[in-house]
Structure 1
Amino acid sequence: MEHKESWQMFTNSTCSHSFCDNCTSKHVETKVQDKVKIVTCPAVKCNTTLDSGACRWMFSEDILICWDESLCKSMIEESQKLYCPFRDCSIMLVNDSGSEVTETKCPVCQRTFCAQCQVPWHPEFTCHEFLKLSGKKKRGIDLMVEKIGCSHMTCRCSYEFCYRCGSKWSSKHAACKYARC
C-alpha cells in the first residue's frame, strides 16, 4: 500500500495486476524455494501464470536456476521421469525415446542401474525374477542385500552398521543371527 513510482512496479503481461518490484521478487523467491512448479500472479484469487521472462532481472542466479529447473521439470510427463536409484546421486533422467528402457548408465555418477526396477543393475536376473526372489515385493536394495548376503554397511558419514538388525558394526558383530559377512 506504499506509494511507488511506475518504474518501481512490475506489471504481469498475462493479467492486469501490478506489484512493486520488491514484493514481486519476494513472492517468486518464496514460491521457488517451496518448489512450486508454476508461479502465479501474487494477486488474491488470480491464477494467471507470472511472466517469467519479464521479471528475470529481479532475481539472483541461484533463484533463476531453481526456477528454470522447476519450469523444465513441469514440462516433462511423469511417465517419462526416471531417477538414479543411488542415494548419493538421485538425478532425474528423462526417457523420451518412447521405448522401454532396462539397463541404463547414469550420466552423472556413471553407475549402471535397471530403469524398470529402479535399483542397481541386476544382470543375473530378469526384472520379474528379481522381484520374485524373496516371494514378496520388497524394495530392490533389500533384495540385492538378501541375494548378495552382505549386511556390513558403511554410511557416507563413515558410520558402520548391520543392514539386517540396524546395530553398530564391530568385529564381534559376525555373531549376529542375521549377518552373513
Structure 2
Amino acid sequence: MAEAEAQAPNPCSICLEPMAPSEAQRGGSSCAHAFCRSCLEGHVRAKVESGRAANVGCLDATCAGKLDPELCRAALPGDVFERWCAALCESIFVGARRTYCPFPDCSEMMVADDDGERVTQTECQVCRRLFCAQCGVAWHAGADCAAYKHLGRVDTAREDMMVMEMAKGKSWKRCPRCQFFVEKTDGYLHITCRCGNEFCYGCGMQWASHSGCTM
C-alpha cells in the first residue's frame, strides 16, 4: 500500500493535471519545484516572445529561483530553447562596448574587453584576421591610428587634386547645380547634366535664361 501511494501521480501546481514522477520537470538549480512539461514550455515560450527571456524565474509565484536552460531543455522545442539561449547571451553584452570584424565575409561581433585601455590591434575570433578595433579597418601595420587617418585624408586630397588637374587640362566644366564635372563631346553648348540641370557649357548660365555666348 505504501509503495502504491509513493507512485501515485501528483498534480502539476500550475494546471493541476495529474503528473507522474517521471513526467515532472524540474527547471531550476536553485529550487526543487517541478512542473509538467506543457506548463514549463508555455512559461518559457511566453517569456521569450515577450522579450523577457533573459530573466525567466520559477513558475511558483512564491519562489525567487531562476530556471536553468539546460535543465529545461528536454521540455522545450528546439526553436524556443535557441531563442532563450540567444537572449541570455545578448543580455551578457548589454552595456559592453562591441566591435565587429571589418571583413565583409565575416563581420563577427565581439565584446571589446579593454579594461579601460585603448585596444587597437585585434584578432577576429572566427576568421583569425587582424584588424584595428578603433578604426574599424584591416590592421594598418606600421602606422598608428592617428597616422592612418591622416594618410587617409592625404590620399583623398591627392585624388581630388588629380581630378582638378585633369578637369583643367580637358577643359571640363562643373554643373552649377550639383558641381559634377561635365565634358562636352560635341559642338553644342547646351548641356544637360546627369542631375537634369540644363546650362551653357561656355558661360555656365542656366540654359533657360541664357542669352547666347561663344566659347
| TM-score calculated relative to the size of structure 1 | 0.49
* Relative contact order, higher structure (CA 8 A, sep 6+): 1
